A and B are shown apart, each in its own frame.
Chain A
Amino acid sequence: MGLDRRVFMKTLGLAGTTLALGKSLTAAGKGKDSTEFYGILYDSTRCVGCQTCENTCAENHSLPAPTDSPEAGVIRKTDENRRTVVNLFKTTKGDVFVKNQCMHCNEPACAAACLTQAMYKTKEGPVIWRGNKCMGCRYCMVSCPFDVPKFEFHSANPKITKCDMCYDRIQEGKKPACAENCPAEAIMFGTRRELIHEARKRIGEQPDVYSDIIYGEHEAGGTGEVYVAQVPPIELGFKTNLQNESYPALSKGFLYAVPSVFVLLPVLLLGIHETTRTNKNNQNEGDENE
């Protein structure tokens, strides 16, 4: 019996540890406090495609300046050397420019995916990457519904790169470089509440000019970057099949099941083991008789 008790206590101890770990499983990505996230409202009707945002972004992050310009029919993508790009689309309402970068989701899939908290949603709103924590597994890239994080595949010391909403500037009380320098005032920085309010106001005041969809208001559980434009998002290369629930919610059910399994399954296994023991003893006797 001594052994049995020991085994049981061990199992119980292990199960307890996991339960304690399990409780904090959903701590990240769930912000019910009253802190207001900062975000950016981008207005396609104002953008003139001058690439000032691209240039100033490159300058601020010590990256090479862009060498190509927006062109209809060509999709320029962000990569390890550019964190924002402007594309040109031919739409039902003529030429429309769209800027792309990290969407800074309210509940980012990348941060929920990160097993070291390297990808991190700051309380100010920007989703940032912390190199001293990252192990380069690229699970953030697999999880991000917008395919935003990029990886330096040709470096021995690779980084995950993406727009960080100029987090260092925000901490100094300044606006992100693109918002600060946009000559057309197409990029507006503020709290997300202000931005949604402003977006609704613009649409409401000029319903003929704007499409009535605010992209990012609900997509992927809501994003820090929100868009208004002349035409619906589908004409501008946006992903329109995204769910309105946040992406971390997809694996929540599984993670919630973990603590229960960890407590109940060992007990069940131990129970079966105990009840089948007589079986084993009978067989052992049989072996000895051989």
Chain B
Amino acid sequence: MKMSNITYPIAKDNDGKTIWKFLISEFKPKGKIFTPFNIISVPVILLGIVLIVIRFWKGIGSITNLTQEVPWGLWIGFDVVTGVAFAGGAYVLTFIVYILNNQKYHSIVRITVLNGFLAYVFYAGALLLDLGRPWNVINPIIGNSFGTSSVLFLVAWHFLLYMLAQLIEFSPAVAEWLGAKRARKILSGMTIAAVIFGITLSTLHQSGLGALYLMAKDKIHPLWYSEFIPILFLVSSIFAGLSMVIFEGSISHKVFFNQISEKHHKEQDGIVRGLSRICAGAMFAYFALQVLIFIHQKRWDLLGTPMGYWYLLEMIGFVLVPMLMFVSGYRSKSINMIKTAAILTMVGVILNRLNVTVIGFKWEEAIRYVPSWMEVVVTLTVIFTEIWIFRWVVRRMPVLRDAPLWAKNQDK
């Protein structure tokens, strides 16, 4: 498929009649059908759908191992809390590109925002699976049931508004795909407002996800509980998000090779190096904060326990080590070392979020919560479906490839 001189059907003939034909043709699959990803993901998604039907028919307990003591498990701890941290790349990059006006990273903004937007849509979707009474989900949004003293109220509103902000940030790409010139002009005029709004929302709900656990003071292991959870969650979302951007970029550049112009291919290594520096900086701040909290709370006695070793593994193996690798990878221009550091960092963020929400939650309980295989399958279903939609959009809209000429002229 020649991507360089792709034509935009509606841009040429914008009389409205061809839109449906165009959309129908766009809904047909593009690319190979029997790829390894498809072969693995399709059975998992089908099984996941069956499990979701059972869950709504027989109740949450029918497919999860949740208990009265541990009411939030993998679906909240991993899908929502960890997933949203990984989606943090969007607000960090829009800050760098639109607020700091650093054009170096402009070519990866769209794919990062798309990734972030889909992450929120699907993780908010995962939240619906976890709600016992999802038909009441609109209560905090409309009506007279505002629980304004709840951190979750704030998080719910921010999820919703941030999805809107991200949709506006991404919408010029949709307009370019449809050839809607006027709409694109209006939508791209809204970008800065959406970015400012989006960064503010992200600051508050990334920290808000941590603040959710403030009231569970006696239930979370003291090595992971402190009144600074919100700040720790916010700072770690910076390098969680950017590590995801590095990881996703290295995959996208292979899978969607033909979408990316020569110029952007060449830029990629410089972008990765730049991101590794920001990651290292954010991780240094995070590590320093953790050390301060450790000393302030006099946690020395807790280190000699199994949970203490586990804490040391997280802090040294998955924060300090990848931080040093980011620095060293940046200095020696070793992209592979930076990619390895990104993966280690992501493991560290998963560990940290699960330690607060699942592993360190009710750590003294005799019967521990371990997610059932069905919870894992549903989680994979959510992730795989997101990747399907992501791929569908990237293959059709100008996300990785350059915007059409008319759009570029509009921006001048």
Residues of B within 8 A of A93 (CB): none
Q: Is B43 an interface residue (CB 8 A)?
A: no
Pair A25/B62 contact, Cβ less than 8 Å:
no
Pair A135/B139 contact, Cβ less than 8 Å:
yes
Q: Is A1 an interface residue (CB 8 A)?
A: no
Q: Is A166 an interface residue (CB 8 A)?
A: no
Residues of A within 8 A of B196 (CB): 7, 11, 266, 269-270, 273
Q: Is B317 an interface residue (CB 8 A)?
A: no
Alpha-carbon separation in the docked complex, A253 to B215 (Å) = 12
Residues of A within 8 A of B192 (CB): 7, 273
Q: Is A65 an interface residue (CB 8 A)?
A: no
Pair B215/A248 contact, Cβ less than 8 Å:
yes
The answer to whether residues A135 and B154 also contact, given A21-B148, A156-B59, A158-B60 and a CB cut-off of 8 A, is no
Interface residues of B in 38-72 (CB under 8 A from A): 56-62, 64, 66, 68-69, 71-72
Pair A112/B66 contact, Cβ less than 8 Å:
no
Q: Is B314 an interface residue (CB 8 A)?
A: no
Residues of B within 8 A of A258 (CB): 154, 204
Pair A117/B98 contact, Cβ less than 8 Å:
no
Pair A28/B214 contact, Cβ less than 8 Å:
no
Of the four ranges (under 10, 10 to 19, 20 to 34, 35 or more), the interface on chain B belongs to 35 or more
Residues of A within 8 A of B227 (CB): 250, 253
The answer to whether residues A250 and B214 also contact, given A136-B133, A138-B72, A141-B68 and a CB cut-off of 8 A, is yes
Q: Which stretch of A54-62, A203-211, A276-284 is in the interface?
A: A276-284
Pair A262/B193 contact, Cβ less than 8 Å:
no
Alpha-carbon separation in the docked complex, A258 to B217 (Å) = 21
Tell me the nearest residue of chain B to A133, going by C-beta: B145
Residues of A within 8 A of B149 (CB): 25-29, 111-112, 248, 255
Q: Is B245 an interface residue (CB 8 A)?
A: no
Pair B134/A136 contact, Cβ less than 8 Å:
yes
Pair A152/B59 contact, Cβ less than 8 Å:
yes
Pair B137/A262 contact, Cβ less than 8 Å:
no
Pair B218/A241 contact, Cβ less than 8 Å:
yes
Alpha-carbon separation in the docked complex, A273 to B72 (Å) = 40
The answer to whether residues A115 and B200 also contact, given A157-B133, A247-B215 and a CB cut-off of 8 A, is no
Residues of A within 8 A of B66 (CB): 153
Pair A154/B58 contact, Cβ less than 8 Å:
yes
Scoring A residues 10 to 40 as 1 if CB is less than 8 Å from chain B, else 0, what string do you get? 1100100000010011111100000000000
Pair A11/B132 contact, Cβ less than 8 Å:
no
Alpha-carbon separation in the docked complex, A241 to B222 (Å) = 13
Alpha-carbon separation in the docked complex, A143 to B192 (Å) = 38
Which residue of the partner chain, among A6, A112, A272, contacts B99 with CB atoms under 8 Å?
A272
Cβ distance A143 to chain B, nearest Cβ, rounded Å = 4
Which residue of the partner chain, among B69, B133, B153, B215, contacts A143 with CB atoms under 8 Å?
B215
Cβ distance B45 to chain A, nearest Cβ, rounded Å = 23
Cβ distance B44 to chain A, nearest Cβ, rounded Å = 24
Pair A283/B218 contact, Cβ less than 8 Å:
no
The answer to whether residues A117 and B146 also contact, given A139-B212, A154-B62 and a CB cut-off of 8 A, is yes
Please list 29 pairs of residues, one from A and one from B, whose beta carbons are closer than 8 Å in the complex, sorted by A's number. A24-B146, A28-B147, A112-B149, A113-B152, A114-B147, A115-B156, A133-B145, A134-B132, A135-B134, A135-B137, A135-B139, A136-B134, A142-B71, A142-B219, A143-B215, A150-B68, A151-B68, A151-B71, A153-B60, A248-B149, A254-B151, A254-B207, A254-B214, A258-B154, A266-B197, A269-B195, A273-B101, A276-B100, A287-B103
**B interface list, Cβ under 8 A from A:** 56-62, 64, 66, 68-69, 71-72, 95, 98-103, 130-134, 136-137, 139-140, 145-154, 156, 189, 192-193, 195-197, 199-200, 203-204, 207-208, 211-219, 227, 230
Smallest CB-CB A-B distances: 3 pairs: A136-B132, A153-B61, A136-B133
